Structure 1
Amino acid sequence: MIPQRIAVIGAGPVGSVLGAHLQNAGHSVVYCEVGRGRRETLSRDGVKVSGEIRLETGPATVVPSVDALSNYDPELVFIAVKANALPLICDALAAFLSESATVVSWQNGIDTEQVIAETLGRTRVLRAVINHGVVMGGADEVIVTFDKPPHYVQELNPGQELRAVTVAQVLSAAGMPTQRADDLISMVWRKGILNAALNALCALTGMNMREAWNDPYSQRLAKEILKQAITVARANEIKLGWNYYHEALTYIGEGKEHKPSMLLDLESGKRSEIDFINGKIVEYGDIAGLPTPHNRSVFWLVKAMERAL
């Protein structure tokens, strides 16, 4: 059965693009957004998307808290917020979400789906890998900087494939080509390692992605971070592909002059997702008994900056 009542938790750039597609496809979409200004904009003007994807919606339904979603009895919930907010969000969802509802981690970072499953159970949780880049272009507009579908979803538990297939169908029908994957964790790590290579360096130096890669000193450090992360992934039996290092160098080298979310978070006085990026490289390195000095150093430095906010 195709879900019609859909909740999108987080109306930042990622959640807004997702919600706009679903709204325009005729689904009953309710956004959860804690930022008052963003709530007012969505309620009054709807979602405006430009760049590689162009979309506009009518006025949106927006609530200020996860608790308020209980009034809408969502059948499908997409979590599109920073990973560090997951424990509070999942505790709130557990109080009212039906057992038949599906929850999708529509996020960056490694192991976000595991955090959700700790509270909500593995049966109804899916993980996604999103293949577009989005930024806020102001208070009322989202800009898609690149769009390279398909996107991917996968269930956590065997026997729940239908949930993933259904979500992929919903998204594809809404204009976001999506497929169910068989080995999504490898995709999560491939993307997570790319984020680990430069995000923290940008956050620490204030440089954008292209500046950080073009600087000889930060590029050398990024390459060491990348090599460590790849070694850790393979030691934990994550399949990256034999040529992943060179593929990663090519991908990073094509990066544009934009600030990664980790830098934007620190500039805005917010905690970053470093725990789910370089922090996870450190964690899995410890599990495998491998040293991760470069990842550990940038992880500690970003955490120190967060404490000073």
Structure 2
Amino acid sequence: MRRDGLRVDDAGGTRHVRVHATTQAADVGVADLVVVLVKSFQTDAAIRGAQSLVGPDTAVLSLQNGLGHEDILIDVVGRERVLAGKTYVGGVLRGAGHIESGVIGKYTYIGELDGRITPRVQAIADAFNTAGLATTISDNIVGTMWDKLLVNVATGALTGLTGLTYGQLYDEPLLKATSLAAVAEAIAAAQAAGVTLSMTDPEQAWTLAAEGLPATFKTSMLQSLEKGSITEIDFINGSVVRCGQRYGVPTPVNATLVACIKGLERAMADRQRQEAAA
């Protein structure tokens, strides 16, 4: 990417963007804002490896899928630096330095953990909006994160298990019924935890998940499995199961989806070990 830039395919066509890309945080120095967008299970290693980016006034913002990342970041950089957020922007890695972007019609939400509207969160939102990333400040960021979780619960595990694109998934009534059941469990768990949601009908999450995305779109969970990588299931459906256990809400559909994805990951890992030993 340093040589050729980043190729971006979106609704407006294809363009090449010049970027300063590096794998060494020390090459960058202290930043005003560190955005964490690695896979959930890589969060701890990523932020520890990026500590040279963090100065006294640096804000650290997670826009990852699932729940629990902020606690990991707080342990490393301190609560005063951590902001939370969620983005509905989708993307597909087509190759080295080549992405398909789904920005059109998709929103990003950011906020302070305590709900305050501060100058720093306003400055970040202004910068994102100026760059074309439609961003709203939330005074209920925990609820906002749960809203996004509902969308991930609706489609992630199901596409990972079936290998279906969005177009295929949304053409299967049985899979829609399973999705709605999983989302209903997540809504019940969130409400038991005292979370204020903007969506209380599973149909809303099912519809929102596909808005603005092509029929060929693949979820990040399916993309991970196709690449031979483990998934973020523990931070998505697994978060629903843990919340349900804590507040006495049954979550059998989500528990089953977690178990099935774990089974796929086990089979994948065994196959990779066998191939490496051959």
Same fold by TM-score greater than 0.5: yes
> Is the 1:151–1:178 contact (alpha carbons within 8 Å) kept by the matching residues of 2?
yes
SS of the aligned residue for 1:269 comes to coil
Q: Displacement, 1:252?
A: 4.7
**41, 44, 55: which one aligns with 2:3:** 44
Q: Displacement, 1:51?
A: 1.3
Matching residue's letter, 2:252: P
**224, 227, 245: which one aligns with 2:184:** 227
**59, 63, 70: which one aligns with 1:106:** 63
Q: Displacement, 1:47?
A: 1.6
1:299 aligns with 2:230: no
Distance of 1:144 and 1:268 partners within structure 2: 19
Cα RMSD (Å): 2.4
**181, 184, 187: which one aligns with 2:144:** 187
> Is the 1:133–1:147 contact (alpha carbons within 8 Å) kept by the matching residues of 2?
no
Q: Displacement, 1:229?
A: 1.0
Residue in structure 2 matched with residue 87 of structure 1 by the alignment: 44
Unaligned stretches of 5+ residues in structure 1: 1-41
SS of the aligned residue for 1:237 comes to coil
1:169 aligns with 2:111: no
**240, 259, 263: which one aligns with 2:197:** 240
Could you tell me the TM-score, scaled by structure 2's length? 0.85
SS of the aligned residue for 2:95 comes to coil
Residue in structure 2 matched with residue 134 of structure 1 by the alignment: 91
SS of the aligned residue for 2:2 comes to helix
Residue in structure 2 matched with residue 56 of structure 1 by the alignment: 16
> Is the 2:28–2:53 contact (alpha carbons within 8 Å) kept by the matching residues of 1?
no
Q: Displacement, 1:53?
A: 5.3
**237, 243, 260: which one aligns with 1:278:** 237
Residue in structure 2 matched with residue 117 of structure 1 by the alignment: 74
Matching residue's letter, 2:26: L
Matching residue's letter, 2:111: Q
Residue in structure 1 matched with residue 272 of structure 2 by the alignment: none
Residue in structure 2 matched with residue 33 of structure 1 by the alignment: none
Matching residue's letter, 1:225: A
Distance of 1:242 and 1:153 partners within structure 2: 18
**Cα gap change, 1:145/1:75 in structure 2, threshold over 3 Å: closer, same or farther?**
closer
**Cα gap change, 1:95/1:51 in structure 2, threshold over 3 Å: closer, same or farther?**
closer
Q: Deviations over 1:18-48 (max 9, x none)?
A: xxxxxxxxxxxxxxxxxxxxxxxx1111122
Q: Deviations over 1:217-238 (max 9, x none)?
A: 3222212111111111111122
**Cα gap change, 1:173/1:96 in structure 2, threshold over 3 Å: closer, same or farther?**
closer
**Cα gap change, 1:132/1:252 in structure 2, threshold over 3 Å: closer, same or farther?**
closer
**Cα gap change, 1:229/1:266 in structure 2, threshold over 3 Å: closer, same or farther?**
same
SS of the aligned residue for 2:80 comes to coil
Residue in structure 2 matched with residue 31 of structure 1 by the alignment: none
Residue in structure 1 matched with residue 100 of structure 2 by the alignment: 143
> Is the 1:196–1:225 contact (alpha carbons within 8 Å) kept by the matching residues of 2?
yes
Distance of 1:85 and 1:242 partners within structure 2: 29
Q: Deviations over 1:156-199 (max 9, x none)?
A: 24668222112112222223232321112222111111111221
Distance of 1:150 and 1:158 partners within structure 2: 19
> Is the 1:196–1:278 contact (alpha carbons within 8 Å) kept by the matching residues of 2?
yes
Residue in structure 2 matched with residue 9 of structure 1 by the alignment: none
Matching residue's letter, 2:155: L
Q: Displacement, 1:239?
A: 1.8
Distance of 2:68 and 2:186 partners within structure 1: 15
Residue in structure 2 matched with residue 288 of structure 1 by the alignment: 247
Q: Displacement, 1:275?
A: 1.1
Q: Deviations over 1:247-303 (max 9, x none)?
A: 224335766332211011011111111111101000111111111111011112212
Distance of 1:108 and 1:257 partners within structure 2: 21
> Is the 1:210–1:258 contact (alpha carbons within 8 Å) kept by the matching residues of 2?
yes
Q: Displacement, 1:71?
A: 5.0
**Cα gap change, 1:158/1:262 in structure 2, threshold over 3 Å: closer, same or farther?**
closer
Q: Which moved more, 1:92-101 or 1:293-302?
A: 92-101
SS of the aligned residue for 1:210 comes to helix
- Return structure 1 stretches of 4+ with deviation > 6 angstroms: none
Q: Kindly, what percent of the aligned residue pairs are identical?
A: 29
SS of the aligned residue for 1:62 comes to coil
